[in-house]
Structure 1
Amino acid sequence: MENQREKYLKKARKVQVYNIIYDTIEVIVSLIAGFISGSAALIGWGLDSVIEVVSASTLWWRLHGEIKGKDDEQVKKREKITLYVIATSFLIVSAFITYDSISKLIAQNPPSWSTAGIIILVISLVVNPILIWYKHRYGKKLDSKELIADSKDTFVCLYQTIAVLGGLLAVRYLDWWWADPVAAFLIVPYALKEGWEAFQNGRKISYDPNK
């Protein structure tokens, strides 16, 4: 009979599959819309979604390993790798957003309106809180630092979604040309903080590399 932990592992793995599918849609729509409209915030948000796909895929790999009966040392190895992937993801996103936002502020080039971008942002305001809730829930049930870290990664995406949407609306209706790059830049301090925490948690995990 399936034990309780295995049951939660399978549910958490399924959440990661849904996460990968939805974020792939986000990537395609937001990057196309971002490059067409010239929106730094949309492009940064789309690249953050790329990192989300990588992070969710790595976490799926870790969960799948435990479900398939990998021993404790192999599971710890996958946990450590997953946390390092999440930490690196935050760093890459922060670096790109910082560069792109500063470039757009210097150029003073406001983005054009993007209906497709607005639609995917609004949909994400509904989808991401659901993903966050389930990731955090199963992270607590499984005592999984990497699942909880991934839920924070998705929260970063939600926070950025709100900032990007607000920035695009401000450009459109208030004529604030600077709102788009500033909206993108607001995410950087939080992303760096969470990335550092994921890195520190990864360092705490030790395993036998020979197994």
Structure 2
Amino acid sequence: MTTFTQTDRKYYNLALGLAILTIVYNVLEGLVSMYFGYEDESLALFGFGADSFIEVISGLGIAHMVIRIKQNPHSSRDPFEKTALRITGVAFYLLTAGLIISSIYNIWTDHQPETTFWGVVISAISILTMGLLVWAKRKAGRKLASEPILADANCTLVCLYMSVVLLISSGVYELSGIGFIDSLGGLGLAWFSFSEGKECFEKIKSDKYCSC
């Protein structure tokens, strides 16, 4: 039986709380982003919202992982986490395909969003939120010397990168009005989505990293 100090319990509870906070935030971000992405006809913002919902599935696996390693830090990834990884990986691949096809179509038809103002706002909030989550998760991971929790922080860092892609594409479109910029943002999100999907299936074969 593993014995934890009071400090260990504190940081395991912090890690679990951060995982739950990530899930709740992604649900809200997904709803808002997809709504405004649809209303403003912004592919990048709509795709960003879809990614947020995929991150919710991932987040459930991560929360389960934190509970597992709290009970036994040396335990291996269990069937629940592997299932979460498979579902997340497939969802990322589907999102990748949808973003690529939609981006090419929008460029071909010279489609332009009505505005990308909300893309700027949402991405800015996301960058701040994800930055704070990365910092807090890394702090918990270092205190516990836990590779899975540190790996979870790196997963959250990828979400921050995707927020930067959305901010750049939305901001450039608002300033320039160049129609294909929004579609280029969608292709940028597709690249990250494909990378995350690939990583999910690689992690199923390994017990070393988190269920991201």
Instruction: Tell me if both proteins adopt one fold, taking TM over 0.5 as the criterion.
Output: yes
Question: What is the CA deviation profile of residues 31-80 of structure 1, one whole-angstrom value per residue up to 9, with x for unaligned ones?
Answer: 1110000000000100111111111122112323444x479767544454
Is the contact between residue 30 and residue 120 of structure 1 (CA under 8 Å) also seen in structure 2?
yes
Mapping 1:167-186, distance limit 5 Å: 167-186=169-188
Tell whether 2:61 aligns with 1:58: yes
- Structure 2 CA distance for partners of 1:142 and 1:90, relative to 1, 3 Å: farther
Tell whether 2:14 aligns with 1:11: yes
Deviation at 1:114, TM superposition (A): 4.5
Cα RMSD for the two superposed structures: 2.9
- Structure 2 CA distance for partners of 1:80 and 1:148, relative to 1, 3 Å: farther
Q: Of 150, 157, 160, which residue of structure 2 is paired with 1:158?
A: 160
Mapping 1:1-211, distance limit 5 Å: 2-3=4-5, 4-67=7-70, 69=71, 76-139=78-141, 141-145=144-148, 147-205=149-207
Question: What is the CA deviation profile of residues 140-195 of structure 1, one whole-angstrom value per residue up to 9, with x for unaligned ones?
Answer: 535344x4454343223222222222212222221210000101211333443343
- Structure 2's unaligned 5+ residue stretches are none
3-state secondary structure, aligned to 2:205: helix
- Structure 2 CA distance for partners of 1:50 and 1:194, relative to 1, 3 Å: closer
Q: TM-score, normalised by structure 1?
A: 0.80
Aligned to 1:209: none
Task: Work out the CA distance in 2 between the residues paired with 1:93 and 1:137.
Answer: 32
Mean CA deviation greater in 149-158 or 43-52:
149-158
3-state secondary structure, aligned to 1:204: coil
Mean CA deviation greater in 80-89 or 91-100:
80-89
Amino-acid identity (%) = 24
Q: TM-score, normalised by structure 2?
A: 0.80
3-state secondary structure, aligned to 1:157: helix
Question: What is the CA deviation profile of residues 104-123 of structure 1, one whole-angstrom value per residue up to 9, with x for unaligned ones?
Answer: 22221110115444322221
Deviation at 1:15, TM superposition (A): 0.4
- Structure 2 CA distance for partners of 1:74 and 1:148, relative to 1, 3 Å: closer
- Structure 1's unaligned 5+ residue stretches are 207-211
